[in-house]
Amino acid sequence: MDAQLLRSTFAVVERRAEHAVTFFYSHLFWHNPGVRDLFPEDMRAQRDRLFAALTQVVSRLEDPGLPEYLTHLGRDHRKFLASPALYAAVGTSLTAAFAHASGPAWTVEADKAWTEAYGYVAGLMMRGAEEADAAGEPAWWDAVVVRHVRLGEDLAVLTLKPRRPFAHLPGQYVGVSSLRVPRVWRTYSLANAVRADGTLDLHVSRIPGGAMSTALVDGTRVGEPLRLSAPGGALTARTPPGRPRSYIAAGTGWAPVKALLEEAAEGPEAVPARLFLVARAKEYLYGREDVERLRERIPGLNVTYITSAPGRPRDQATERLLHALYTCGNWRAHDVYLAGPPGFLAETLPVLDRLGAARVHHDHLPAGAGPRGRPTSTAEWFIGPPDPHWHDPEARAPRRP
């Protein structure tokens, strides 16, 4: 692939991102009417996710990990019923959209480069799907809700029972789909280590305007079916025996950290560990009973609860955390497991770098459009593009020594 040419043409398209993506879906649905039924009714989030996924691929053209990323993406796309015919249709519409958005900048050479690049990407994705099919892995797992507990107004813990064995590692996430929000998948971390009965816990925080989170928190009932995608994620335990660990969790980032701590509690030896549990306000700090049970099972687990002071801005909790991190020592000896909203991670990671933490493990989960909201015009997108809705949470791998 001609990476330089691909990036230069993509830079032109990027300036008209909203227009290009709208043209793409219009072209795809017009020429392939049956394809529209595979997509959600509300396409706003889908359009953002598409362009973020394209940005991810273009930014990693020389990355040796790109083939693995694309095969995993293809394995995951089976839940969308992606077929070879759909891959071909998407390629045709994508090229047409880029040509339309680029105008005079779209040359014969650019057309050839993008056609070849898309063939490479689609080929790896389809190979990933074929390998998963050959291994007998389903496109999704059917599960039933066996428990639904509200923790305050905006939070719920759902316990699910997959109808067939579901192998996962503590700290991983899954895609979740509900009949209440057809053809929409959202990512949630699993909140438990492996159990003998195979049940899984999800911690779901209701997001304003979030159709899936609202359905899961407010509408879902015991006995209701859900679908789960294959598990994924980089926030899994990989610390050598005996090495100390620090866990930092904000909001529902407590879910994967809880799973990791449950796994550590089942280990053969006590490991020095410290936990920082952060919430924007005291009323949002949940899971204390679980923390205390884990403290009993993990000798030497040091726990610090952090919230904003009453009447102070909610972002003060992050400031308090950063101060607490600076007061702790020996970061070079600790593996750090970090989970929380993308903005929280963005503030915390540079501090951990300055403290000298050599190994920091984290996932970037799909985010909303950010505090500005979704751009309403091409000019607004160009002047202030939103934070990307990463299509694949493994897009950013943990840093390694």
Question: Can you say whether the dihedral through the CA atoms of 234, 236, 240, 242 is positive or negative?
Answer: positive
Helices (H) and strands (E) in the chain, counts: 12, 11
Give 41's contacts (C-beta < 8 A, 6+ positions apart): 182, 183
The three-class DSSP label of residue 114 is helix
CA distances from 181 to 76, 187, 203, 318, 392 (A): 19, 14, 18, 33, 20
Give the pLDDT of the chain (401 residues) as one tens digit per residue: 788 999 999 999 988 888 898 999 999 999 998 899 888 887 777 777 787 788 888 888 888 888 988 998 899 899 988 899 999 999 999 999 999 999 999 999 999 999 999 999 999 999 999 999 999 999 999 999 999 999 888 899 999 999 999 999 999 999 999 999 988 899 999 999 999 999 999 999 998 888 899 999 999 999 999 999 999 888 999 988 888 999 999 999 999 999 999 999 987 777 789 999 998 888 888 889 999 999 999 888 999 999 887 766 667 788 889 889 998 888 998 999 999 988 888 889 999 999 988 799 998 633 333 333 334 333 333 334 343 332 233 333 333 33
Q: What is the pLDDT of residue 364?
A: 61
> Model confidence over 308-363: pLDDT tens digits?
877 666 677 888 898 899 988 889 989 999 999 888 888 899 999 999 887 999 98
Are both 3-134 and 141-228 of the same fold? Answer: no
Q: What is the pLDDT of residue 57?
A: 86
Going across the sheet that includes 173-178, the strands are 186-189, 173-178, 225-228, 141-150, 155-162, 200-205
The three-class DSSP label of residue 359 is strand
* CB contact at 8 A, 257 and 249: yes
Distance CA 7, CA 98 (A): 12
What is the average pLDDT score of the chain?
A: 85
The three-class DSSP label of residue 311 is coil
CA distances from 114 to 25, 62, 121 (A): 18, 15, 10
Question: Phi/psi class of residue 308: alpha, beta or left (left: φ > 0; alpha: ψ in -120 to 50)?
Answer: beta
Strand partners for 276: 248, 304
Q: What is the pTM of this model?
A: 0.81
CA distances from 252 to 40, 107, 109 (A): 26, 47, 47
For 128, the enclosing helix (H) or strand (E) is helix 108-134
Could you please state the CATH topology (level 3) that the domain comprising 245-365 is classified under. Rossmann fold (3.40.50)
> Model confidence over 217-265: pLDDT tens digits?
999 999 999 999 999 888 999 988 888 999 999 999 999 999 999 999 9
- Domains of the chain, residue spans: 3-134, 141-228, 245-365
CA distances from 161 to 10, 68, 179, 278 (A): 44, 30, 17, 29
CA distances from 332 to 56, 235, 401 (A): 31, 19, 11
Percent of the chain surpassing pLDDT 70: 89
Distance CA 325, CA 349 (A): 11
Tokens 């020389």 locate to: 62
Tell me the CATH number of domain 141-228, given options 3.40.50.1100, 2.40.30.10, 2.60.120.560, 2.30.30.60.
2.40.30.10
Question: Can you say whether the dihedral through the CA atoms of 37, 38, 41, 47 is positive or negative?
Answer: negative
Distance CA 150, CA 56 (A): 36
User: Which string of b and e fits 333-367 if b means at least 16 CB within 10 Å?
Assistant: ebbbbbbbbbbbbebbbebbeebebebbbbbbbbb
Distance CA 47, CA 388 (A): 11
Distance CA 301, CA 214 (A): 35
Q: What is the pLDDT of residue 390?
A: 27
* CB contact at 8 A, 222 and 145: yes
Q: Which two tokens stand for residue 252?
A: 């529902």
Q: What is the pLDDT of residue 26?
A: 93
Q: What is the pLDDT of residue 233?
A: 85
For 148, the enclosing helix (H) or strand (E) is strand 141-150
Tell me the CATH number of domain 3-134, given options 3.40.50.10090, 1.10.10.10, 1.10.490.10, 3.20.20.70.
1.10.490.10
Give 336's contacts (C-beta < 8 A, 6+ positions apart): 245, 246, 247, 248, 352, 357, 359, 360, 361
For 19, the enclosing helix (H) or strand (E) is helix 17-31
Q: What is the pLDDT of residue 318?
A: 81
